Amino acid sequence: MTHLLALDQGTSSSRSIVFDDGGRIIAMAQHEFRQIYPQPGWVEHDPKEIWATQLATAQEALAKAGIRADQVASIGITNQRETTLVWDRLTGEPIHNAIVWQDRRAEPTCAALRARGLEAVFRDKTGLIVDAYFSGTKLKWILDNVGGARSAATRGELAFGTVDSWLMWHLTGGTVHATDVSNASRTLLFNVHTNAWDEELLALLDIPREVLPAVHPSSHVYGTARGDLLGAALPIGGVAGDQQAALFGQACFDAGLAKNTYGTGCFMLMHTGERFQTSANGLITTSAAQPTATPEFALEGSVFIGGAVVQWLRDGLNAIKGSAEVQNLAETVPDSGGVMFVPAFTGLGAPYWQADARGAIVGLTRGSTVAHIARAALESIAFQSAALLQAMSRDAVAAGGTPVTELRVDGGACVNDLLMQFQADLLGIPVVRPRVIETTALGAAYLAGLSCGVYAGLGELAAQWQVERRFHPTLSRERAAELMHRWERAVRQTTTA
């Protein structure tokens, strides 16, 4: 029993990957699912579709691997964070579509909390800013706007969870209602110093404790998946939000190590060890994936629209037929021709935190082509990530440390060599791509492997991490600074205020 099954439930697709104990991919399956946009700024998913696609990929990955389910030692789960679900405990039926992390409908609630001067209370206890990004305000919206929901929640009839909790509930036939510290830390309801739900925060958001899941370390045996689902009753031994799982899968176990995941959004995390460090540069503090009950932390910056800008080129602008075509199109021009693309489709995340920003393409001339726009779209991913790393390095220096010296990368878009080279050029430090870029799923598998004894400790996992390619900067620091200045000028043009 040396195989591990990772369930990687993402924003645009559900995936399952079977790993061997050496961290190598044996088989993978992936299914996309619908994105639902009820009105501008709102983003939803069908909870039943999340579960159906995730289960289907797990069954498919096991079949592709050619192994029996009883050859799997444990299941690890990693998930899109902050996406909020509420369901009936008796029937398992969702009472509303899942409200996705990108959704902005809770901004009025956040504005009211900020107006009352409460941001410091939330920041001190959770490490987060008061923003509609996080799941607690989404949960409040559901309880306030779905008929009978609040009274049913108070009676203990409803369960709230992020996607990991929803999957565990169904995998275990409704016997487990739980989450891990990394997902709980994204709710605005969880005190990351004590690793417990916080009564003051629950009161401020008017959330009844009865709806909340139990919280455990990220490496923990949560329960057992029903045998009829996958072919054997398997322990669920690891859970972490996708970005903390990626940090773990990148073997960033020590303070100062940083990674950036290029997915639908981009998420940069730097481990800070057991030190809770607040940012003076627009970043948030979050719980890292925790192998034990000891709190561990990371600084994080979130880009709301990363790889999703390529999806927009495909589905919105019809500039490409498939996402894989974007690099070839971008490479037909030597540069973006002065075009800057700020994809603030749902506002801007760190380090700007401009909820009212909207997307803008600036610098267009009569000579601009769709290739220039495609290149500017790719470059926008690197520009946003560079702004994050600059903020992160300033925070590290302020805390007595040193700037980040290399950036480990993963996620689907990191296979784009043009993007990774431009990223290194902007940053002025090496960008390091590992052999296994599915580090989100790998982190979940590692956490599951630790809890069931497949791995002896973190040293064994660190030894498995291997470099596939290093991208070294080739651009002068003066030119990089000039480009970043142009980017910041374009960002200032996106606000609708």
Taking the C-alpha atoms of residue 36 and residue 371, their distance in angstroms, rounded to an integer, is 29
The runs of H, that is alpha helices, within 66-162 are: 107-115, 119-126, 135-145, 149-154
What domains are defined for the chain?
Answer: 3-243 (3.30.420.40)
Confidence of residue 174 (pLDDT cuts 50, 70, 90): very high
Average pLDDT over residues 450-457: 92
pLDDT of residue 1: 64
pLDDT at 66: 92
Q: What is the pLDDT of residue 379?
A: 92
Neighbouring C-beta atoms of residue 140, cutoff 10 Å: 20
Q: Reply yes or no on whether the pLDDT at 462 is more than 80.
A: yes
Nearest to 126 by CA among 164, 182, 178: 182
pLDDT tens digits, residue range 4-56? 999 999 988 999 999 999 999 999 999 999 999 999 889 999 999 999 999 99
Which percentage of the chain shows pLDDT scores above 90?
72
Percent of the chain with pLDDT over 70: 99
Q: Is the pLDDT of residue 339 over 80?
A: yes
For the cut 80, the answer to whether the pLDDT of residue 311 exceeds it is: yes
Helix (H), strand (E), coil (C) string for 218-267: CEEEEEEECHHHHCCCEEEEEEEEHHHHHHHHCCCCCCCCEEEEECCCEE
Contacts (Cβ under 8 Å, ≥6 apart) of 481? none
Of 80, 88, 52, 71, the closest CA to residue 5 belongs to: 71
Bigger pLDDT: 497 vs 23: 23
Beta bridge partners of 86: 160
What pLDDT is stored for residue 496 in this prediction? 56
CA atoms of 16 and 35, how far apart (whole Å): 20
pLDDT, mean of residues 251-266: 88
pLDDT digits (tens, 9 = 90+) for 415-432: 889 899 999 999 999 999
Res. 400 pLDDT band, cuts 50 70 90: confident
Higher pLDDT, residue 411 or 138: 138
Check residue 347 and give its pLDDT.
84
| pLDDT, mean of residues 410-415 | 86
pLDDT above 90 for 303: no
The per-residue pLDDT for 494 is: 82
pLDDT at 248: 96
Question: What pLDDT is attached to residue 92?
Answer: 94
Taking the C-alpha atoms of residue 108 and residue 98, their distance in angstroms, rounded to an integer, is 19
Predicted confidence (pLDDT) at residue 404 exceeds the cutoff of 90:
no
Lowest mean pLDDT among 44-58, 268-282, 319-333, 360-374: 319-333
User: What per-residue confidence (pLDDT) applies to 144?
Assistant: 96
Whether residue 497 is predicted with pLDDT greater than 70 in this model: the reply is: no
pTM above 0.75, yes or no: yes
In contact, 74 and 449? CB cutoff 8 Å = yes
CA dist 301 and 386 (Å) reads 11
Helix (H) or strand (E) segment spanning residue 77: strand 72-79
Mean pLDDT rounded to a whole number for the chain: 92
Tokens at 68, concatenated: 């029996």
The mean per-residue pLDDT over the stretch 293-300 comes to 92
Q: For residue 59, is pLDDT > 60?
A: yes
